[in-house]
Amino acid sequence: MSTKEIRPKGENFVWFTGMGLALGLLMVFALLAVIFVNGITVFWPKEIVEVRLKEGSDAEIQGAEAFAGYISIDRHVNDIRPGKVEQKRELQFFVGNKDVYGFMYKFVDYDQIESMGPTPGIIELERLEYGDAIGYPVSLTLKDGTKISVGDENFEKEFEEFFKAAQDRRKEIRHLEKKVIGRINHKMTQLQVKKRTLERKHGDEAAQAMSSYIKYDDEIAELQVDYDKLAAEAKALRQEQHDIQFTYRLATGQEQSLPMGELTGYYYPDRLGFFGKITFFVSHLWDFVSENPREANTEGGIFPAIFGTFVMTLLMSIAVMPFGVLAAIYLREYAKQGAFVRAIRIAINNLAGVPSIVYGVFGLGFFVYVLGGTIDDLFFSSRLPTPTFGTGGILWAALTLALMTVPVVVVATEEALSAVPRGMREASLACGASKWQTIQRIVIPAAAPGMLTGLVLAMARGAGEVAPLMLVGVVKLAPALPIDGIFPYVHLERKFMHLGFHIYDLGFQSPDSEAAKPMVFATTLLLIVLVVLLNLSAIIIRNKLKKRYKVGAF
């Protein structure tokens, strides 16, 4: 018997279908792997080498034939130089020291390199500005001019102490400026608004004569005194940050000095053991998720973007869930099934296919200008012409996305409702329950897992959406979080940062795209993790409900 005879007909198609799945999985896993590997290695410490160039090489930096850095890209490219046919190997180095060199990354042809060697004692400095600096420590200069040079046995200990003191001072400054002064500012603004309300109501002169107006003025003056005192305090602290200078020598020879207050972190790359590397990784990852961004978002962390995405998605869920579920209940349970309901259902399904930017435009036109403008006129007229709700904000963004994702919730809820067994409804009705009681006590609990599936899908779509947000409230850098300690704690009118927009901004709007690249990968990884976490929590809730309402017997 030949193999041809024993093989059942149609088996080839199994292979075809399997190939379809394999291709899909391959693409998904490749994408995830690229993002994961690139995103996670951002925080892993790199090995720094000292590169010595061949004599007369055109790759030198400011005349020096040696520099230090780590390899960020190692690749083979087609040689475009005349007369060359083979591929050439080229390396991209992260060299840092942007303040001196004017760039942070440098491509060098491999055949230009004489040698790459170790860099004992080199230090990598993480700074508030200009990114990292790489160099050899030279000395510390104290305020009174005393120098502690690197040969001194106390040097490293002193260095660490000064660094810690500067860190503490920075925290203090931030606390003063953001929290304490922020609160005073907030109070003063409110008093100003009250003053203006009086002026609007009674006319400028009459208002200025009123006792409450004068009281407001006094209060403002008092606050101003506090403000001046605190501002002076902060200024003094800032001044202190510059008292101690750290001098280091670049591998290219220049000596540079940096005030300790500019330093946010440092490490000796050649001294990191395995555990040192792990500590480095964890602390940098933590900084990334917990810090505010710096340097046009290319440095620092992305905490406000995580927080903004999270709050926005939460608000969207709160808005979309009741809205979609109620619509679906009416459509499925009460509306007379006919051509009209079918047409509505088709319209809802079509809404899911409308490009998201259209929702953005609608959100801007309707929510921001019409609704927000009306709210401003009615409740915040004393602040006009500065808009409060009449400009993009997290509430309008959440509502716009809720509108966009409502079809998902409606469709999923309708399916869940129709999957509730008829027997259960009949049992309830036969017990003397009204239709609404049946829906409320039997149908909705039984359909809850399906409704949550809809919410999971809506959240996944909403959290990853960027285009409409650009029109209704997302910003590159938000001055304050949408939830904070100042009354009324939740500020729905505030603009916010969003991970998706952050990725776009870093990748395409950043002045230094090379410097932003690692951040793009890390942010993308984080967005994916956030979406997965949101989904996972919804799935866990759903499974718990499913277990509770498991219907084994229908």
Partner 1 sequence: MVETNKAATSPAISSDSTDPQYIQVKDNYGFWYGDTKVLHDLNMDIPKKKVTAFIGPSGCGKSTLLRNFNRMNDLVEGTHHSGDIVIGGRSIYDPKLEVISLRKRIGMVFQKYNPFPKTIYENIVYSLRIAGRSKKSHLDDVVERSLRGAALWDEVKDRVHDSALGLSGGQMQRLCIARAIANEPEVLLMDEPCSALDPIATGKIEELIHTLKDEYTIVIVTHNMQQATRVSDYTAFFYLGKLIEYNDTETVFMNPKEEQTEAYVSGRFG
CB of 417 to partner 1, least distance (A): 15
CB of 401 to partner 1, least distance (A): 33
- Nearer to partner 1 (CB atom), residue 20 or residue 423: 423
| Residue 292 near partner 1 by CB under 8 A | no
Neighbour tally for 39: CB within 10 Å: 21
CB of 343 to partner 1, least distance (A): 19
Task: Tell how strand 123-127 and strand 49-53 pair up.
Answer: unpaired
| Residue 541 near partner 1 by CB under 8 A | no
Which neighbouring-strand residues pair with 266? 125
| Residue 349 near partner 1 by CB under 8 A | no
Element (H, E) at 127: strand 123-127
Question: CB under 8 A: which stretch of 163-171, 281-289, 523-531, 545-553 binds partner 1?
Answer: 545-553
Contact 212, 196 (CB under 8 A): no
CB of 21 to partner 1, least distance (A): 35
Neighbour tally for 122: CB within 10 Å: 20
**Nearest to residue 420, comparing CAs of 453, 401, 443?**
443
The helices-and-strands tally (H runs, E runs) of the chain is: 19, 13
- Nearer to partner 1 (CB atom), residue 384 or residue 424: 424
Q: Which of 6, 85, 339, 553 binds partner 1 (CB under 8 A)?
A: 553
Q: Which of 87, 212, 434, 509 binds partner 1 (CB under 8 A)?
A: 434
| Residue 551 near partner 1 by CB under 8 A | yes
Q: How far apart are CA 293 and CA 50, in angstroms?
A: 30
Q: How far apart are CA 399 and CA 478, in angstroms?
A: 19
- Nearer to partner 1 (CB atom), residue 433 or residue 541: 433
CB of 344 to partner 1, least distance (A): 19
Contact 497, 305 (CB under 8 A): yes
**Residues within window 414-433 making contact with partner 1, judged by CB under 8 A:** 421, 423-424, 426-433
Cα-atom radius of gyration of the chain, to the nearest Å? Answer: 31
- Nearer to partner 1 (CB atom), residue 331 or residue 397: 331
CB of 326 to partner 1, least distance (A): 21
- Nearer to partner 1 (CB atom), residue 121 or residue 421: 421
Note if the bond before 385 is cis, omega within 30 degrees. Answer: yes
Q: How far apart are CA 540 and CA 168, in angstroms?
A: 41
Q: How far apart are CA 423 and CA 554, in angstroms?
A: 7
Report the residue count for the chain: 554
| Residue 552 near partner 1 by CB under 8 A | yes
Phi-psi region of 67 (alpha: psi -120 to 50; beta: other; left: phi over 0): beta
**Residues within window 437-456 making contact with partner 1, judged by CB under 8 A:** 437, 441-442, 445-446
- Nearer to partner 1 (CB atom), residue 391 or residue 453: 453
- Nearer to partner 1 (CB atom), residue 212 or residue 337: 337
CB of 432 to partner 1, least distance (A): 4
- Nearer to partner 1 (CB atom), residue 544 or residue 550: 550
- Nearer to partner 1 (CB atom), residue 150 or residue 429: 429
Which neighbouring-strand residues pair with 106? 93
CB of 336 to partner 1, least distance (A): 8
- Nearer to partner 1 (CB atom), residue 110 or residue 330: 330
CB of 536 to partner 1, least distance (A): 24
CB of 299 to partner 1, least distance (A): 54
- Contact map string, positions 453 to 482, toward partner 1, x by CB under 8 A: ------------------------------
> Is the C-alpha dihedral spanning 314, 316, 319, 322 positive or negative?
negative
Task: Tell how strand 263-267 and strand 123-127 pair up.
Answer: antiparallel
- Nearer to partner 1 (CB atom), residue 326 or residue 551: 551
Q: How far apart are CA 107 and CA 85, in angstroms?
A: 20
DSSP single-letter state for residue 422: H
Q: Buried b vs exposed e over 66-94: b needs ≥16 C-beta within 10 Å?
A: bbbbbbbeeeeeebeeeeeeeebebbbbb
Give residues in contact with partner 1 (CB under 8 A).
421, 423-424, 426-434, 437, 441-442, 445-446, 548-554
